[in-house]
Amino acid sequence: MKFVGFFMSRRKAREPWDSAPKNSLRPSYANVGGASSMRLTLGEIAEMLGTRSEEPYRVARGYSIDSRTLAAGEVFFALRGPRFDGHDFVPAALERGAVAAVVSWPFRAQASAELARRLIAVNDPLRALQELSRAVRRRWAGPVIAVTGSTGKTTTKELIAAAMSAQFNVHKSVGNLNNAYGVPLALLALEPQHQVAVLELGMSAAGEIAALARIAEPQTGVVTNVAPVHLEFFDSIEGIVAAKRELIENLKPPATAILNRDDPRVCSFATGFAGRVITYGFAEGADVRASGWQPWVGEARQIGSRFLVQASGSRSEVFLPLAGRHNAENALAAIAAAHSFGVPLASASRALREFRTLHQRAEMLTLPEDVVVIDDSYNSNPRAFEQMLATLAVWPGASRRIVVAGEMLELGPSSPDWHRQAGRQCAKAGIDWLVAVQGDAQYIVEGAISGGLPSSRTRFFDSAHEAGEFASQVVRPGDVVLVKGSRGVRLEAVVERLKELHGKSDLPASAPLPDKPQHPLP
């Protein structure tokens, strides 16, 4: 395989890696860059995969695993899943304009001669997707930042990309493409102009993050926190700790671990790590430390965060259009990552000021009659639920605080206990109404009542549709409604029903931040 040359985007000279102390905040990379061309011919693709193509000079313009969304000129990978076989959709993919399809050898052996010309046969199309993405990542050759953690992965990944964009051309994975399919697709979308890539690595079992790290070969690893999630697949939280640590153990030198100082389990990842360690958080001793956090109230009763950040003798005020102290913590991870690459605190802070909330991830919707809906319906777990309750509890000016709580999935045998605990937290937070949805969410009601919330202020429904109908009748002017649940509960139906009956206004989802602070921070 022939490799093209690399362009290098040079910035102000920095001291080399070897001269930087382990815990210094000097940049890891003085130069970043990538290959001058990322377009591959089918012949190059086949060579990378150890196979052959009968149309080697045709050029791939992208890669897809979904025949429904495939664009003309892309290579289709026929993956097998528990409920589908991508080989069944090869004809449809080629009809939509796929330049070729990567298939198994038995499929190609049974294909007609005309069809076979457009097929690249391999032993395992999924393994081929992963191998090709690693080859493309190496051909691009720029630095990769990988993010993992029990909560806040996607938001932190987006915040890192925003902070890094103050100085670099950043490529980021779309949404939460964080698994054995998504990470390779994110890498295959790299372009020569990208100077840094930011990826999210997820898992539901031991060994998965290590496997993804071997594909993406990140030099910088960011860990947000460790919490009781995916307990259906782990015996204990210690198993989750070990699984998250796999990212730090598989970083490619020169390696930098960016760890949450506020989470003792995450901090322990520094033990035995040979690379550079940077910590962030509110705790004393954090390399990138926040202080003076307070909610900021904007137009249309939207709230964000405001705090000071300090690192390496520098200090900057941060305005973040995301509610909750936990999102300030996510922003600190982003600032620490950017600062490790030489982005000044002030530049990173300005970039984060323009950040926009992701869909269904603490997305704030202002409806007529001053009703605010916090749409956090994409995912849920005990830690994330507690964080959003804390955000709701300090929401200023709320007439009433209403929680629509969906079942938290994948919690294993201890699921009822985790849901009861969530209910007790609802009562402690002083909410006015609890609407629980589906399965084990019934225990949230049980826990809330035991914690002192009147049973007359609780309801349980088997479906999101029923819950939406009820919630839309309960909501009054001035209420703030938190909608929080695992993706499988489909609580977006509740949000849509609230919008239908109360009518979405023209106000922005994120209110503009002030030009100057109203009150100085300490």
Considering the domain boundaries, does residue 518 fall inside one?
Answer: no
Q: What's the gap between Cα 276 and its chain centre? A: 24
Question: Are 378 and 152 contacting, i.e. CB atoms less than 8 angstroms apart?
Answer: no
The pLDDT assigned to 269 comes to 97
**413 and 292 housed in the same domain:** no
**208 and 236 housed in the same domain:** yes
Considering the domain boundaries, does residue 506 fall inside one?
Answer: no
Structure tokens at 369: 């009659």
**103 and 177 housed in the same domain:** no
303-352 pLDDT, tens digit per residue, is 788 999 999 999 999 999 888 899 999 999 999 999 999 999 999 999 99
Where among 296, 325, 353 does a domain terminate?
353
The pLDDT assigned to 379 comes to 82
Helix axes of 153-164 and 345-353: crossing angle, nearest 10 degrees: 120
Range with the poorest average pLDDT among 4-18, 118-132, 185-199, 206-220 = 4-18
**209 and 310 housed in the same domain:** yes
Where among 66, 100, 130 does a domain terminate?
130
249 pLDDT higher than 70 = yes
**91 and 157 housed in the same domain:** no
**406 and 286 housed in the same domain:** no
Query: Which regions of 39-166 does DSSP assign to beta strands (E)?
Result: 40-41, 59-60, 62-64, 74-77, 100-104, 119-122, 144-148
The pLDDT assigned to 360 comes to 79
The secondary structure of residue 85, as a DSSP letter, is B
Count of C-beta atoms within a 10 Å radius of residue 280: 29
Which residues lie below 8 Å from residue 512, measured CB to CB, with a gap of 6+? Answer: 298, 299
The whole-number average pLDDT for the span 427-433 is 96
Question: Are 6 and 36 contacting, i.e. CB atoms less than 8 angstroms apart?
Answer: yes
The pLDDT assigned to 302 comes to 64
**149 and 111 housed in the same domain:** no
| Bigger pLDDT: 507 vs 127 | 127
CATH number of the domain bearing residue 91: 3.40.1390.10
**87 and 149 housed in the same domain:** no
CATH number of the domain bearing residue 378: 3.90.190.20
The whole-number average pLDDT for the span 172-199 is 93
The pLDDT assigned to 29 comes to 41
The whole-number average pLDDT for the span 412-429 is 94
Q: Torsions phi, psi of 153, nearest 5?
A: -60, -55
197 to 216, 224, 333, 440: CA distances (angstroms): 10, 18, 16, 39
Instruction: Classify residue 112 by burial, with Cβ atoms within 10 Å: 0-12, 13-18, 19+.
Output: exposed
Considering the domain boundaries, does residue 22 fall inside one?
Answer: no
Instruction: Classify residue 82 by burial, with Cβ atoms within 10 Å: 0-12, 13-18, 19+.
Output: exposed
Portion of the chain with pLDDT greater than 90, in percent: 70
**63 and 190 housed in the same domain:** no
411 pLDDT higher than 80 = yes
Confidence of residue 412 (pLDDT cuts 50, 70, 90): confident
448-482 pLDDT, tens digit per residue, is 999 999 999 999 999 999 999 999 999 999 999 99
Summary mean pLDDT of the chain: 87
Distance CA 452, CA 171 (A): 48
Residue 288 lies in domain: 143-353
The pLDDT assigned to 11 comes to 32
Range with the poorest average pLDDT among 20-34, 233-247, 372-386, 464-478 = 20-34
Considering the domain boundaries, does residue 184 fall inside one?
Answer: yes
Considering the domain boundaries, does residue 138 fall inside one?
Answer: no
Q: Which of left, alpha, beta for 348 (phi over 0: left; psi -120 to 50: alpha)?
A: alpha
Question: Are 263 and 283 contacting, i.e. CB atoms less than 8 angstroms apart?
Answer: no
521 pLDDT higher than 60 = no
CATH number of the domain bearing residue 214: 3.40.1190.10
Considering the domain boundaries, does residue 257 fall inside one?
Answer: yes
Where among 291, 318, 353 does a domain terminate?
353
What pTM does this model have?
0.84
Considering the domain boundaries, does residue 487 fall inside one?
Answer: yes
**99 and 174 housed in the same domain:** no
Distance CA 238, CA 231 (A): 10
The pLDDT assigned to 229 comes to 65
Count of C-beta atoms within a 10 Å radius of residue 439: 18
**122 and 269 housed in the same domain:** no
The pLDDT assigned to 78 comes to 98
Q: Which of left, alpha, beta for 111 (phi over 0: left; psi -120 to 50: alpha)?
A: beta
Distance CA 92, CA 89 (A): 5
Distance CA 158, CA 380 (A): 18
Range with the poorest average pLDDT among 19-28, 94-103, 366-375 = 19-28
**169 and 52 housed in the same domain:** no
Considering the domain boundaries, does residue 83 fall inside one?
Answer: yes
Q: Please state the domain count of the chain.
A: 3
Distance CA 429, CA 482 (A): 13
Confidence of residue 23 (pLDDT cuts 50, 70, 90): very low
